[in-house]
Amino acid sequence: MPDITTDVLIIGTGPAGSATAALLSTYGIENMAVNRYRWLANTPRAHITNQRAMEVLRDLGREVEDEAYMFATHQELMGENIFCESLAGEEIGRMKAWGNHPLSKAEHLMSSPTKMNDLPQTFMEPLLFKTACSRGTQARMSTEYLRHQQDADGVTTTCLDRLTQKEFTIRSKYLIGADGGKSLVAENENLPFEGKMGVGGSMNILFKADLTKYVAHRPSVLYWVMQPGADVGGIGMGLVRMVRPWNEWLIVWGYDINEPEPVVTPEFATGVARQLIGDPELEIELLSANTWTVNNFYATKTSNGRVFCMGDAIHRHPPSNGLGSNTSIQDAFNLAWKLAMVLKGQAGEHLLDSYDTERAPVAKQIVTRANQSIAETGPIFAALGMAEGVNPEQMQKNLEARTNGTPEAEAQREAIRKAIAFKKYEFDAHGVEMNQRYSSDAVVTDGQIEPAFQLDADLHYQPTTWPGARLPHAWLYRHDNGAEVSTLDLCGHGRFTILTGLGGEAWVEATARVGDALGIEIVTHVIGPRREYVDHSGEWARLAEICDSGCLLVRPDHHVCWRVSSPVDDPEAELHRALKRILAR
C-alpha cells in the first residue's frame, strides 16, 4: 500500500513544476509537488520574462500577472544592451534590446496584452508556488525523489523524507519530472537525448554594490565586458547582469571546461568584480558564488507512458536569449490542460501524446538557438581584432585604431557596428519567443496550408489563426462599458473557446449541443457591433483570417486547433468531428 495517493505528482518546484502545480490546481486537479530542498530558488538565476510566459501568468489570473509586474524591473529599464571594455571603461557599442527599439516596441505592443520584464527567479518561483498552494497543491519540501515504477494504472514513486531520513511511497496517476538539468526522473525513464552536457564552464558571482554612476544613464539588464579571459568558456563574454537596479548584480564569468573547476573564494570573486567593473577600489557585498556548466542537450522524447518531463529536465542550454524559465512555464501550459481533461474523463489518453509531439521540437529549437547565440559573439571579438583571444595591450591598440580617420578604421567601425547589430538574434528575438506553431493530433488543419513567414521567423512574430498557431492578440472593447479586453482574455482558463462573428450564431447553438454531448464546457463569443465584445478598431478583422460567419476553436493554452473560414451546412457535425479528434474520443 502506498503511503500517499494523489492524481499528479510533480517532482520539483522550479518554474516548470510550480507553474504546472498552479495550473492543475486552477483546473481543479488534485496534485502534489515535492522539492528536495526546504525552500525555492536561493539565487536569481533566470530573469528575462517574455510575453508568452506572461500570458500564462495572466491566464492564471490578473492578480498573478500584476504581482509579477510589481516585483519586476520594467521593460523600459532593460533596453540598452552595452558592450564595453569595463563598466568604468570605454563603451564599444550598444544595441536596443528586449523590445525597446522603437520598431520592436511596436511589435511587442501589437502582439500581446502583456509586457516583457525582468523578474528574477527568486520572485517568479514564490509567485507561482504560492498560487499553486493557495489553490490546492499539496507541497512537501525537504522531500527527495529517488525512483519510480509505472504500470498500466499509475506510477508508484519512492521519496526520501530528508528530515526523518525515512523512505515513503506516493501513488499517482501521472508523474511529472520537473526536476531540472540533472533530472533523475528523465534518467530513470531512459528518455533519449541529443547533444552534449558541459560544453563550457561558467561561474556566477552574486553581490551587492551601488553601480548607479556607471549604469543609470544607460539602463540595461546586461552589460557585456571584453576583458582578458572574456572569450573563454562562459556565455560569449564577461557579463555584469543587473538583478535589482542598480545595487544588486550577478557576474557571469567563464572558465576553461578542460581545466579544473576554479574555487571561487571571496577574494577571487572581488577580483573578478573589480576587473569587469573597472574599479580597483570597488567594495562588494558578496552574496554567493558558484560554478555551472554550459550545456547543449535536449530530449528527443519528452514523455513515456504516464511520466512526463519538462523544463530543464528536457532542454539544457545556456541563459543566452533568456529562454530557460520562459520555456519551462510554457511546457507546463501545454501539458496541464491535457492532463486535466484526461483525468476528468473528458479526453482520451492519446491527447497526452501531443505533449511530446508539440514540445520536443521546441526543446531542440531553443537549445540550438541559445548555443548559437554564444557563437555569434565571435564576430565582435573578430571586428576588434581579437579573434585569437583578448590581450589587453592589443585591445587598447585596436580600440585606438578605430578612432582614426583612415578607410581601414572606418571599415573596422562598420564591422563592429554590424557584429553588434547581429546580436539582435540573442537580445531581441521576438519570433523565437512567440512563433511556436504546433502540428499534432491535438490540432485539426483540415488541409489548410501553413502560412510561410514573411520576415525572419527568429526576429519577428507573425500572427496567424492557422490551426496550431497561438491565437493572435487584438484589443476588443466591451459593449456595456467600453473596457479593453484582449482576444486572449476571452480564451484559456482551462476551457475550449469558440470565436465567431455576426452571422456565425449557428456556431453558438452548435457549440452548446456539442459541449453537452461531449460533457465539456466550451465558451462562445460572438464579436461584432452591439455584441458583448466589439472590434471598434478593426484590428481583429485584420487578424482573424476568417469571415464573420466562420469560427475559430481555441484550446485552453490559447492555440487555435480548428478553423472554419466560412459557414458550413452542419456546424454541429463539423465541430463534433473536430473536437472528437482533438480530444482523442
Name the site residues for ligand FDA (rule: CB under 6 A): 11-17, 34-37, 45-47, 121, 144-145, 178-180, 184, 204, 290, 292, 311-313, 319, 322, 324-325, 328
Residue (150 or 448) nearer to ligand FDA, CB: 150
Least distance to ligand FDA from the beta carbon of 70, Å?
21
Cis peptide upstream of residue 246 (ω within 30 degrees of 0): yes
Q: How far is the CB of 259 from ligand FDA (least distance, A)?
A: 19
DSSP class of 442: T
Which residue is at the shortest CB distance from ligand FDA? Answer: 311
Cell of 4: 500517499
Q: Give 356-416 as a DSSP string.
A: HHHHHHHHHHHHHHHHHHHHTTHHHHHHTT-TT---HHHHHHHHHHTTSSSHHHHHHHHHH
Shortest CB 48 distance to ligand FDA, Å: 6
- Residue closer to ligand FDA (CB basis): 117 or 549: 117
For residue 98, the minimal CB distance to ligand FDA (Å) is: 13
Spell out the residues 6+ positions from residue 347 whose beta carbon is closer than 8 angstroms to its own: 338, 341, 583, 584, 585
Between 189 and 545, CB nearer to ligand FDA:
189
Q: Pick the closer one to ligand FDA by CB: 328 or 497.
A: 328
Nearest-approach distance from CB 180 to ligand FDA, in angstroms: 3
The Cα 555–Cα 559 span in angstroms is 5
Residues 6+ apart with CB under 8 A from 438: 354, 357, 358, 468, 469, 559
Nearer residue to ligand FDA within complex by CB, 290 or 391: 290
- Select 17 or 515, whichever has its Cβ closest to ligand FDA: 17
- The strands making up 73-74's β-sheet, listed across from edge to edge, are 48-49, 117-118, 73-74
Q: How far is the CB of 183 from ligand FDA (least distance, A)?
A: 7
**Residue 19 or 554 with smaller CB distance to ligand FDA:** 19
Beta carbon nearer to ligand FDA, 180 or 504: 180
Residue 161 has phi, psi (to 5 degrees) of: -80, 110
Indicate the residue among 118 and 548 with the shorter CB distance to ligand FDA. 118
- On the CB side of 578, CA atoms within 13 Å amount to 27
Q: Which amino acid is at 385?
A: G
Please, which residue, 43 or 346, has the CB nearer to ligand FDA? 43
Grid cell 469571415 in the structure block, residue: 547
Nearest-5° Cα angle at 297, 557 to 19: 30
The enclosing H or E element of 421 equals helix 407-421
182: three-class secondary structure by DSSP: helix
Q: How far is the CB of 74 from ligand FDA (least distance, A)?
A: 18
Q: How far is the CB of 383 from ligand FDA (least distance, A)?
A: 26
- DSSP secondary-structure letter at 493? T
The DSSP code for 495 is B
Give burial (CB, 10 Å; 0-12/13-18/19+) of 394. middle
Rounded to a whole number of angstroms, the minimum distance from the CB of residue 546 to ligand FDA is: 37
Q: Least CB distance from residue 143 to ligand FDA, whole Å?
A: 6
